Chain A
Amino acid sequence: MSNTRFALLGMLLFAVLFASEQLVTNQYVFFVGYAVLQYVVLATAWNILGGYTGYVNFGTAAFFAIGAYVSVAVNKLYHPPLPVLILVGGTASGLIGLAMGYLTLKLRGVFFSISTLALAIVAQAVITNWAFVGGSSGAYVIRPRFGPYGGPFIAYLFTIMLVMAIAAVVLARSIERSKTGVGLAAIRDDEGAAEAYGVPTLRLKLMATVVSGTLMGMAGAPLPFYVAYLDPPSAFNLSVAVNTIAMPLVGGTATWLGPVIGAVLLSLIQQAAMVTISSAVNLLIVGLVMVGFITLAPNGIMGLLKKRRPAQ
């Protein structure tokens, strides 16, 4: 399927889901849906660098929280519409990704991962000491009662996240199938050889980091309106980073579909566990599922499905 047709299919999916929003009377559905879609964006974004390129990023929380906090700061100054906040938050995280890429992409394997972890810690320290956005005591954001086109505001947030999720997946798929995608896969398989054959490895890695960081920041920008109260420990929560790594691993990192399956599956399980068991059991479930997949299906659900099919 061509990129255009896939994008049209995405728009069709959006139209169907958007139309069915009118039928939903229980707002809780939107709260759950938002959380699931947010993880679709994060997992897809992570996979561009972690799955396609093979650079494991432990700093998802940093990009996500920077998007959220830039959104808080800009909102405090100007009150622009939400899409503007998303663009500003995404740009900020993309720039952080560019800077981090320049400093760390010469590092390979586990050394790169450690430096992304360090980024998350440094960013949290900076935000905790930034009084304008509430510092350690957190920031309150008043969630409007209604969205700009009527309906509850949470339905508006859900719609926005839906657009981002579809856009992120369309983008990831087009990268995967482009010349750039083959270049990224070559870096993942053997970076030294890719370089020897004239693949501009640093440029491609920087591109992947920037795209990945931007999408994560965009996913974080509406967060203050979703939670209404944002403090550093929750914005930089370990669960964001762990979930974002677990989801592509569970779904499969080689294609765009893997992170989507992983994100939907894991976040639905977590949402169900939250209401039926307890909210603290979330990460335990993720941990168990991750251990199970790493030992039994290292290539994720997509890998299992592929095995079933006869080889070409």
Chain B
Amino acid sequence: MSSITISHLYAGYNKVHVIQDLSMNVGDGETVALLGTNGNGKSTLMRCVMGLLRPYEGSIKLEIDGLSHELVGMETEEIVSLGIAMVPEGRRLFPRLTVEENLTIGAFRTAARPALARNLEFCFEAFPRLRERRHQLAGSMSGGEQQMVALARALMSEPRVLLVDEPSVGLAPLFVTRTIEKIKELKESRGLTVLMAEQNFHQALKIADRGYVIVEGEIAFEGNSAAELNDNELIQKFYMGV
């Protein structure tokens, strides 16, 4: 069991307030899409969950195996150790390290070390291309391959909750589809709970169970199914320009 409950969150950078009184939740085994255009606070929210940014106020609770943890105030390493991993926006690989070294960084926490070989094997099975290229420098790979490395790197810590920030950014349409499908496949095979921030509405809805539309740091609409999101007028306004 793993779920995240965010309540009354306020966050930002110094005096620039980005997130205002935001509450949402991601239930066990769900794939929840966080929809919204640039600059509405999707990444800021993810940074708060990972402990990379300390919110001004509010709480982020992680329920895992019957235990409840308050994530606000925790260090990122502890949060990763609890079982949350993030695929950052723009992939953010370590370009001068090899593919295998990049993956090893994903298992940096001590608890993930004993299972390193097993997880590496899992990643190479999930992404056979990466096995071929394990000794290649990550910076020399194509955008699609880099996205695979970023996904695999997040899985190296055996997370229960996966945060994916804008997986479609900078990818050719074919690779966007493949990435999204891969996330779905991995989610099913590993029993992950997924929170995915995405601008590409149609792609996100392919795999999302539910979604939130975030506008200027607030939840503007909560859709309990892909169909509900599809018919929503806010979405029509923000995405289709209708």
Selected interface stretch from A29-37, A104-112, A145-153, A196-204: A196-204
A312 beta carbon closer than 8 Å to chain B: yes
Query: Given the complex of chains A and B, what is the CA–CA distance between A194 and B76 in angstroms?
Result: 10
B69 beta carbon closer than 8 Å to chain A: no
B42 beta carbon closer than 8 Å to chain A: no
Cross-chain contact A197 with B108 (CB below 8 angstroms)? yes
Tell me the smallest distance from the CB of B208 to a CB of chain A, in Å. Answer: 23
Cross-chain contact B136 with A185 (CB below 8 angstroms)? no
Point out the residue from A185, A194, A195, A197 that lies within 8 Å of B157, measured CB to CB: A197
Main secondary structure of the interface of A (DSSP, over half): helix
Q: Which residue of B lies closest to A312 (CB)?
A: B135
B residues 153-170 in Cβ contact with A at 8 Å: 153-154, 157
B80-120 vs A: 1/0 string, CB under 8 Å? 11000110100011111100010011101100010000000
Q: A182-B101, A185-B97, A185-B101 are in contact. Are A198 and B92 (CB under 8 A)?
A: no
Cross-chain contact B77 with A198 (CB below 8 angstroms)? yes
Cross-chain contact B94 with A198 (CB below 8 angstroms)? no
Chain B residue total in the interface (Cβ 8 A): 28
| Chain B residues in 8 Å Cβ range of A192 | 52, 88, 92
| Chain B residues in 8 Å Cβ range of A194 | 94, 105
Q: Which residue of A lies closest to B133 (CB)?
A: A312
B residues 65-86 in Cβ contact with A at 8 Å: 76-77, 79-81, 85-86
B48 beta carbon closer than 8 Å to chain A: no
Query: Given the complex of chains A and B, what is the CA–CA distance between A182 and B79 in angstroms?
Result: 21
A193 beta carbon closer than 8 Å to chain B: yes
Tell me the smallest distance from the CB of B13 to a CB of chain A, in Å. Answer: 14
Cross-chain contact A193 with B92 (CB below 8 angstroms)? yes
B residues 188-204 in Cβ contact with A at 8 Å: none
Cross-chain contact B96 with A199 (CB below 8 angstroms)? no
| Chain B residues in 8 Å Cβ range of A189 | 93-97
Query: Given the complex of chains A and B, what is the CA–CA distance between A196 and B76 in angstroms?
Result: 7
Q: Which residue of B lies closest to A185 (CB)?
A: B97
Q: Which residue of B lies closest to A187 (CB)?
A: B94
A186 beta carbon closer than 8 Å to chain B: yes
Point out the residue from B76, B88, B96 that lies within 8 Å of A198, measured CB to CB: B76
B148 beta carbon closer than 8 Å to chain A: no
Cross-chain contact A193 with B88 (CB below 8 angstroms)? yes
Cross-chain contact A197 with B85 (CB below 8 angstroms)? yes
